Amino acid sequence: MKFETISIFGLGYIGLPTAAAFAGRKTKVIGVDVSQQVVDTINRGEIHIVEPELDLLVNAAVTQGFLRATRDAEPADAFLIAVPTPFTDGNRPDLSYVEAASRAIAPVLKKGDLVVLESTSPVGATEKVAQWLAEDRPDLSFPQQVGESSDIRVAHCPERVLPGKVVHELVQNDRVIGGLTRRCAEVARDLYQTFVQGECILTDARTAEMCKLTENSFRDVNIAFANELSMIAEKLDINVWDLIRLANRHPRVSILQPGPGVGGHCIAVDPWFIVDSAPEEARLIRTARVVNDDKPRYVVGRIQRVASRFKEPVIACLGLAFKADIDDLRESPAIEIVEELASQSLGHILVVEPNIGELPQSLAQHVELCDTADALNRADIVALLVDHREFRSIDLRKLHEKAVVDTRGAFHAAR
């Protein structure tokens, strides 16, 4: 099937790289976002996020006329929904952004169009998209109504990329594509094969939804083991980094590295979607979430104990992003740690985050943003929360007279 125009709703960390990938194959792409600032930035050929290589791709796509951004839905042959799917109080999935995008798409749909939900979602969300579309367009038929002969095809194709390597992995990674019917999945496969060099594997929508949740829950459970191990090791006066290094020499053991918690829009969120769908059965997944959600408070306790040695300590917190070498602050345990430290008035708090230009609103009035050299010069306590490349290259002699809380093991590895 030929797709002359593709519309992508949500121009964030997934939507914008996906738009650039399609545009790079000389396909007309209309990007839709609720933020006028995002729309204006992209239409200048610039980007509003930090992702290697993406700036060059977007600039080329806009300059050559294959990508433009707008706030309003326009007709297209395929529509991709890549909007946030956070959770509400009580860790319940929030599909309001997905519903808003679906209802914005509905008025411009025409017979033969494809709608793909890319947003990571709880099981059954793709069916809800089809339901919302059908409610707003009773003149068209949908898969849940007539099966394979529907006017509109609906599918789910979750992203599975690593921040910092999105441009490469969008093209190279396999994609799991779940359709509400087999034909829906096949048409969606035709779309993604425009740029995907990995294998496009077909299944049903519910399995595709659960597959993405399963992938991230697997990671979360294994990180929880490492984080719990780090707390046990400290209590028993054992260096956890040496412990893991030695244990991993076993041919069938591969323990991950502990950290200050788990962040980001996927691993810190998606397991809760499974727990919400099957609360009685998802016992291990729930426990892993609790362990990882509690780790920031454990780190705050460590810093508190160190700070008690000083009368008015200056505490340098290195990193705010949820992982190394990106600017993504979503669900970041580092932010949670810094917010808690600030609320306790333990001392003067310096924050170093080389990938942002200003502090998030929750911290702006309470801490000082500075560069690495200034922070190391002034600090009594250095807390490494994110192992950005700038921090991995710190001369350890500059830490000699500092109290150090290394939640990532980067300084230990350097030694």
pTM of the predicted model as reported, rounded to 2 decimal places: 0.90
Does the active-site annotation cover 28? no
Q: Is residue 99 in some structural domain?
A: yes
Give, in degrees to the nearest 5, the angle at Cα 324 between 322 and 328: 40
Per-residue confidence (pLDDT) for residue 335, from 0 to 100: 97
Same domain for 201 and 276, yes or no, is: no
3-class secondary structure per residue, the chain: CCCCEEEEECCCCCHHHHHHHHHCCCCEEEEECCCHHHHHHHHCCCCCCCCCCHHHHHHHHHHCCCEEEECCCCCCCEEEECCCCCECCCCCECCHHHHHHHHHHHHHCCCCCEEEECCCCCCCHHHHHHHHHHHHCCCCCCHHHHHHHCCCEEEECCCCCCCCCHHHHHHHCCEEEEECCHHHHHHHHHHHCCCCCCCEEEEEHHHHHHHHHHHHHHHHHHHHHHHHHHHHHHHCCCCHHHHHHHHCCCCCCCCCCCCCCCCCCCCCCHHHHHHHHCCCCCHHHHHHHHHHHHHHHHHHHHHHHHHCCCCCCEEEEECCCCCCCCCCCCCCHHHHHHHHHHHCCCCEEEEECCCCCCCCHHHHCCCEECCHHHHHHHCCEEEECCCCHHHHCCCHHHHCCCEEEECCCHHHHHC
CA 170, 175, 181, 184 torsion: positive or negative? positive
**200: CB partners within 8 A, 6+ apart:** 174, 175, 177, 189, 192, 193
For residues 247 and 255, give the distance between their C-alpha atoms in angstroms, rounded to a whole number. Answer: 8
Same domain for 254 and 143, yes or no, is: no
Q: For residue 39, which amino acid is it?
A: V
For residues 203 and 185, give the distance between their C-alpha atoms in angstroms, rounded to a whole number. Answer: 7
Same domain for 71 and 138, yes or no, is: yes
Q: Chain centroid to CA 65: how far?
A: 29
Same domain for 313 and 381, yes or no, is: yes
Tell me which residue has tokens 């999105």. Answer: 166
Same domain for 247 and 168, yes or no, is: no
Domain that holds residue 200: 5-206
Same domain for 69 and 196, yes or no, is: yes
Q: Is residue 182 in some structural domain?
A: yes
Same domain for 126 and 74, yes or no, is: yes
> Among 206, 230, 256, where does a domain finish?
206
Same domain for 148 and 258, yes or no, is: no
Strands 5-9 and 348-352: unpaired
**Smallest Cα–Cα separation from 158: which of 250, 81, 72?**
81
Q: Dig out the tokens for 120 from the structure.
A: 């990571």
For residues 368 and 36, give the distance between their C-alpha atoms in angstroms, rounded to a whole number. Answer: 29
Q: Is residue 37 in some structural domain?
A: yes
Q: Catalytic one among 184, 200, 266, 317?
A: 266
Q: 178: which strand partners? A: 156, 203
> Among 150, 185, 206, where does a domain finish?
206
Does the active-site annotation cover 212? yes
Per-residue confidence (pLDDT) for residue 265, from 0 to 100: 80
Q: Is residue 229 in some structural domain?
A: no
Q: Chain centroid to CA 106: how far?
A: 27
> Among 182, 206, 230, where does a domain finish?
206
Per-residue confidence (pLDDT) for residue 2, from 0 to 100: 83
Q: Is residue 42 in some structural domain?
A: yes
Q: Is residue 307 in some structural domain?
A: yes
| pLDDT, tens digit only, all 415 positions of the chain | 789 999 999 999 999 999 999 999 999 999 999 999 999 999 999 999 989 999 999 999 999 999 999 999 999 999 999 999 988 888 899 999 999 999 999 999 999 999 999 999 999 999 999 999 999 999 999 999 999 999 999 999 999 898 889 999 999 999 999 999 999 999 999 999 999 999 999 999 999 999 999 999 999 999 999 999 999 999 999 999 999 999 999 999 999 999 999 998 889 999 999 999 999 999 999 999 999 999 999 999 999 999 999 999 999 999 999 999 988 898 999 999 999 999 998 899 999 999 999 999 999 999 999 999 999 999 999 999 999 999 999 999 999 999 999 999 999 866 6
Task: Give me the CATH number covering residue 339.
Answer: 3.40.50.720
Per-residue confidence (pLDDT) for residue 90, from 0 to 100: 85
Same domain for 59 and 164, yes or no, is: yes
- Contact (Cβ atoms closer than 8 angstroms) between residue 270 and residue 256: no
For residues 179 and 167, give the distance between their C-alpha atoms in angstroms, rounded to a whole number. Answer: 25
Q: Is residue 211 in some structural domain?
A: no
Same domain for 202 and 257, yes or no, is: no
Domains contained in the chain, number: 2
Q: Catalytic one among 157, 212, 295, 317?
A: 212
For residues 387 and 342, give the distance between their C-alpha atoms in angstroms, rounded to a whole number. Answer: 21
- Contact (Cβ atoms closer than 8 angstroms) between residue 367 and residue 259: no
Q: Dig out the tokens for 71 from the structure.
A: 């706030």
Q: Is residue 50 in some structural domain?
A: yes
For residues 281 and 277, give the distance between their C-alpha atoms in angstroms, rounded to a whole number. Answer: 9
Q: 285: which strand partners? A: none
Same domain for 245 and 202, yes or no, is: no
Q: Dig out the tokens for 395 from the structure.
A: 């001369």
Same domain for 298 and 350, yes or no, is: yes
